[in-house]
Amino acid sequence: MPAVVQALGVSLMLMAAALVVAAGTAAAVCARTLRLGVRRRLHQRRGAGGTAAVLAALPEFLLASVLAAVVGVHLGWLPALGWYGPQYLVLPALALGLPAGALLGRLLDDMLPAAFAEDWALAAAARGIGGREVARMAVRRCVPGLLPNIGLFVTGLTGGAVAVEQIFDIPGLGRTTLQAAVAQDLPVLQAGTLALVLLAAVAGSLARLAGRLLIGPALRDSALPSLHRPERSGPRTAPLVYAALLLAVVVLGLVRDPLAVDTGARLRAPSPAHPFGTDSLGRDVLARIGHGAFGTLTLALAISAAALVAGVLLGLLPRLSEPLADTVNAVPPVLAGLLVAGVAGSGAATPALAVAAVAWVPLAAHTSALLAQERAAVHITATKGLGASRLYLLRHELLPAVVPPVARHALLRLPSVALALTALGFLGLGTQPPDPEWGLLLAENQPYVERAPWAVLAPAAVLALLGLLAVTAAGGVRLPRRQPTAAVREPESAVVPVGERV
């Protein structure tokens, strides 16, 4: 108990610092949308989220390694190893908080335009209420839909920071639990897991309580407008560009031999012969990225699709999914990987099963939160008054409004799923050498990051490219706008120019 309590205290301090960094990152991601919303110029919103996508797609362990090597060792600005004071919090908090904040910021940025388009925002602007106050109310309007995921982040930043704790030598709960699992120290493993489950229950309960305080009366009175309205989505070229770049990298790598060893060309810098350089055995990094893409991307896509289906279905049953999600989220993917490895053995299927077991949780929480708000929308009450059945409401009103934002969330989570797979490979729980899986590439080349940074930065850049593709593609998942029929279409004579309206 003393060891677990001490490790929990360390993890809580690290989690609090990471949440501060995540909040600042999310605010920076949403800053442009807030400014445009206050000025009523959201039609100028273009290309938001590129930097956020790169941050969200960076592996935490890679970000931690770069910060430790550059900021801690080369520059000497902050300590890079140990746990002896507040200054030791900064680098690990940055490594954990930047990706989490980028993802939360993208989710919030996705909801803000609909909030600024609601009647209260138009009335506030007409009454001359200050822009900062309107922006604050818009954020308050959107936060309840994100609170369940914020509660999940609290637990994930506490128990899921195993790789970061390993790199910075932090005696946190995740590392303590992992070491206990490896050493088969059952009392410490049980106590650590129990602490994580209790923390998940407390965080989930506080998130739901905060949601009731923020938006509870509107839910009770069924007086909410829908945040997810039909939109016309114009042609998007950015996803095609990123997809073409990713496909080009994979194809160029597939035509090369990923297992050819040239000891005379070890750790060579990028050149025409080796565009991404070579690794510690002289193998072509581009070839290994191309051949490893099939396993990593195929698994990530399959797990994301399965998580989306399971998340939506379980999100429709909040009384079942909420306690189940709190419990499952308390098990870090690394610990889940160890459990799967103990039952089924280590191999290529181990990380897939471990990540699939926990990937549905944030999507189910998001579905439940959006569904509760959508059921309180005014148009749902009106449809009920017209005699619509529950099945009709579910098929024609609730699911069409909830599925698109959850699908966008699933696409935003696609790099996170790939990162979870690579993290398990990084820790040796996935495929084994010489397989060119991306997590294994990062693990093999991470010791040489100072001498040959290209061997690590190349797979990291491909992961960031995957993040850009996911974010830009997610923006195109919209509820289609229904065309009015001829009987209800507004006649042309009734259309009044905007300048002549009273």
Residue with tokens 């007086």: 223
Q: What counts of helices (H) and strands (E) characterise the chain? A: 21, 0
Do both 172 and 255 map to the same domain?
no
User: Are residues 204 and 249 part of one domain?
Assistant: no
Residue 457 lies in a domain: yes
How far from chain centre, in Å, is Cα 152? 11
- Residue 195 located in a structural domain: yes
Q: Where are the alpha helices (DSSP H) in 127-232?
A: 131-142, 147-159, 162-168, 173-182, 186-221
Whether 57 is covered by a domain: the verdict is yes
From 168, 196, 220, give the residue that closes a domain.
220
In the numeric block, the tokens 């799923």 are attached to 417
Q: pLDDT tens, 123-156?
A: 887 787 877 888 888 888 888 878 877 877 787 7
Residues 337 and 466 in one domain: yes
Same domain for 216 and 245, yes or no, is: no
Query: CA 64: distance to chain centroid?
Result: 18
**339 vs 328, 336, 358, CA distance in Å?**
13, 5, 13
- The rounded distance, in Å, linking the Cα atoms of 386 and 94 is 53
pLDDT of the residue at 21: 92
Is the domain of 265 the same as that of 139? no
Predicted confidence at residue 430, as pLDDT, reads: 63
In a domain, 168, yes or no: yes
Same structural domain for residues 15 and 155? yes
Q: The tokens 């729980």 sit on which residue?
A: 429
H or E segment at 327? helix 318-329
Q: What is the pLDDT of residues 76-120, one digit of tens each?
A: 888 878 888 888 889 999 988 888 888 888 888 878 887 887 778
pLDDT at 332: 65
Domain that holds residue 269: 236-478
pLDDT at 50: 60
Task: Specify the pLDDT at position 483.
Answer: 44
What helix, strand, coil percent values describe the chain, rounded to 5? 75, 0, 25
Considering just the CA atoms, what is the radius of gyration of the chain in Å? 24
For position 330, what pLDDT does the model report? Answer: 67
Q: How far apart are CA 22 and CA 98, in angstroms?
A: 6
Omega before 351 within 30 of 0, i.e. cis: no
Is residue 25 in some structural domain? yes
Based on the domain organization, do 69 and 115 belong to the same domain?
Answer: yes
Please report whether residue 11 resides in a domain. Answer: yes
Note the pLDDT of residue 335: 67
The Cα–Cα gap between 169 and 187 comes to 22
Q: Are residues 249 and 211 located together in one domain of the fold?
A: no
Asked if residue 142 and residue 25 are part of one domain, the reply reads yes
Last-in-domain residue among 196, 220, 244 = 220
Asked whether residue 383 falls in the same domain as residue 331, the answer is yes
In a domain, 45, yes or no: yes
Cα separation, 95 vs 102, in Å, equals 12
Handedness of CA 428, 431, 432, 434 (dihedral sign): negative
pTM: 0.71
pLDDT for 353 equals 80
Residue 293 and residue 169 share a domain: no
Residues 319 and 206 in one domain: no
Contacts 24+ apart (CB under 8 A), 113-119: 113/33, 113/37, 113/42, 113/45, 114/226, 114/227, 114/228, 114/229, 115/37, 115/141, 115/142, 115/227, 116/37, 116/38, 116/40, 116/42, 117/42, 117/229, 118/225, 119/225
The answer to the question of residue 288 being in a domain is yes
Domain count, the chain: 2
Residues of the chain scoring pLDDT < 50: 47-48, 230, 232-235, 481-502
Residue whose token pair is 């490790």: 7
Could you give the CA distance from residue 468 to residue 81 in angstroms, rounded to a whole number?
32
**The domain spanning residue 172 has which CATH number?**
1.10.3720.10
Identify the CA nearest to 369 among candidates 414, 421, 316.
Answer: 316
* Residue after which a domain boundary falls, among 161, 195, 220: 220
pLDDT of residue 367: 87
